[in-house]
Amino acid sequence: MPELPEVETVKKGLADFVVNKTIKSVKFSGKKLRFPYSRKFGKKILNKTILNIDRRAKYLLFYLSENYVIIAHLGMSGTFKIVKGRDIKKYKISKHDHMILYFDDGLLIYNDIRRFGYILLTANCPDKHHLLSPLGPEPLGNEFNAEALAETFKGRKRSLKNTLLDQKIISGLGNIYVCEALFRSKILPTKFTNELVRKNGMAKKKLYDLVESINEVIREAIFFGGSSLKDFHHADGKLGYFQNKFKVYGRENESCLQPGCKAKIKRIKQSNRSTFYCPKCQK
């Protein structure tokens, strides 16, 4: 589910409350997430203090005292929730609450209906963890730019849609924001990567447009608190707003929102996942 803007939103929602809190107790549902918890997970984090929360791509990183780091991925349906004040006593654990951290004055709960997410414990530099080390650049970072992408794209014949979903090439994008970015840059999702690169290996203008659109859509989505579909909400239960800004995602057979365009948004399958685009605006 959650793509970079949603994970960023979760991070911001958690930071104020959980940073500097000490974990006094831990409870697990006992159900297996995508990866089972390491043995002694609960014991190891007991009495550790959360020093900071960060995000890398779609991962949340909880930096604890004594160099422990919790790596959390929300998969498709994972959410974090905070319970505090008088709500603590009346909180009823739901069957999809898989991990609960108890602080003196609150709870941090990981809930995940589909259990595609996972929570791991590592030490020191999480960037070196085998799940994080292959990740490509952040879309809002300096290393993500048209010339660097051209280097990766040249000579490779793979659809742009699938390539942009590949976390090794650029990290943090998912199905929604790839569709939206391609619409904004007026590029067909079925176009091949090498079509955006000149013979001399330099980026074509369209590739600059694409980079710009990715940047823009991610910034805007973060600004609006991400997109709330189905089960996604902020740590405080509030909803994001960006779903109201979708131009193509989830709009099959609806009219293109580009002024003057009368085309209907199409849905196709690429690698068995839905792609939405305007057949007239995107070339």
Partner DNA sequence: ATCCCCACCTGGCCGC
Partner DNA sequence: TGCGGCCAGGTGGGGA
Interface residues with DNA (CB under 7 A) are 1-3, 6, 32, 34, 57-58, 73, 75-77, 95-96, 113-116, 131, 134, 156-159, 162, 165, 167, 174-176, 226-232, 240, 271-274
Of 196, 171, 194, residue with least CA distance to 186: 196
Residue number, 86 or 230, with CB nearest to DNA: 230
Please state at what angle helix 4-18 crosses helix 205-223, rounded to 10 degrees: 40
Catalytic residue among 44, 84, 114, 273: 273
User: In this complex, which beta carbon is closest to DNA, that of residue 23 or of residue 149?
Assistant: 149
Q: Which is nearer to DNA, 114 or 264 (CB)?
A: 114
Helix-helix angle 175-184:205-223, to 10 degrees: 130
CA-nearest of 243, 239, 249 to 10 is 239
Residue 141 CA, distance from chain mean position: 15
For DNA, which is the closer residue by CB, 103 or 139? Answer: 139
Closest separation in Å from C-beta 113 to DNA: 5
* Catalytic-role residue among 2, 5, 126, 139: 2
Active site residue 8: no
Return d(Cα 275, Cα 190) in angstroms, integer.
9
User: Are the CB atoms for 282 and 182 separated by under 8 Å?
Assistant: yes
111 three-class SS: strand
Residue 107 CB, shortest distance to DNA, in Å, is: 21
Minimum distance between the CB of residue 61 and DNA, rounded to whole angstroms?
14
- In the residue annotation, 273 being an active-site residue is answered as yes
Q: How far apart are CA 135 and CA 166, in angstroms?
A: 9
Instruction: Using the minimum distance from each CB to DNA, give the nearer residue, 23 or 221.
Output: 221
Report the C-alpha gap between 159 and 192 in whole angstroms. Answer: 4
Q: Could you tell me the smallest distance in angstroms from the CB atom of residue 112 to DNA?
A: 9
Catalytic pick among 48, 56, 58, 251: 58
Residue 3 bears catalytic tag:
yes
CB of 260 to DNA, least distance (A): 28
Question: What CA–CA distance (Å, rounded) separates 53 from 50?
Answer: 8
Catalytic residues: 2-3, 58, 273
